[in-house]
Amino acid sequence: MKHGIIIISFLLALFSVQEMSGQIISESAKRKVTVGVDVYTDIWMNQPDLMRTRTINQGANVFMQYNFLLNESGSVGFGVGPGIMSHNLYSNSTIGDIKGDSILFSPITTDYRRSKVNVVYFYIPMDIKFRFKNDIKLSVGFNFGFTIDSKQKYYGNRPSDDKRVLIKEKKIEHLDKYTYGPTLRFGWKYINVFAEYQINGIFEKGFGTDNLNPISVGITLTPF
């Protein structure tokens, strides 16, 4: 809920700034910088045995890019800049020991409301952008980033005494230090369909959970 409020507030602020900037900033100046947010669901591949993920695993990226024009008409460009990426895995399983020598997911055997793993990255989105007539846009890109935060959150009954508890654990061990993968966007003006495939798994290989990686599908909003 907190993340949702932050994203909504960010979007409202972006659209407010875009509305004002349309009056005081030239179109050529606005094309030099892109600020946007990706809102998506993660489809998790190569899940461990017995794991069942939720249908919607909401995630979000916030980014800014500086755009370099690659032709005189401005119809082709290259954008690069910083961003923050947040992936969520909601499932019927938990990591037994996030600080252990191995990272192993086990199905939850008690009554529970929610179990999730969250991984946050600082990343650099790089896109080749094409602008067509009638404000139709296409971009093909690649993301590369570094892991900066992680946590496991469980809300449900504790197996030892069946008491309802909220457990938050920070800094999961054996996460892959990097994230990288291709991206695709297609849309009109400020709204785009967005897709990303993370090539590598979120965990290091050889520690019990190999090749668990997301395909992200959603929308991108770029007020300016």
Tens of each residue's pLDDT in the chain, 224 residues: 455 445 555 555 555 555 554 555 556 666 789 999 999 999 999 999 999 999 999 999 999 999 999 998 889 999 999 999 999 999 999 999 999 999 999 999 999 999 999 999 999 999 999 999 899 999 999 999 999 999 999 999 998 899 999 999 999 999 999 999 999 999 999 999 999 999 999 999 999 999 999 999 999 999 86
Q: Among all chains, which residue has been given the structure tokens 């994203």?
A: 7
Cα 215 to Cα 224: distance, rounded to the nearest angstrom: 26
Other beta carbons within 10 angstroms of residue 165's beta carbon come to 12
Residue from 160, 172, 200 nearest 104 by CA: 172
Residue from 129, 140, 135 nearest 187 by CA: 135
Going from N- to C-terminal start, the domains of the chain cover: 2-221
Residue from 130, 213, 142, 217 nearest 182 by CA: 142
166 class by beta-carbon count within 10 Å (0-12 exposed, 13-18 middle, 19+ buried): exposed
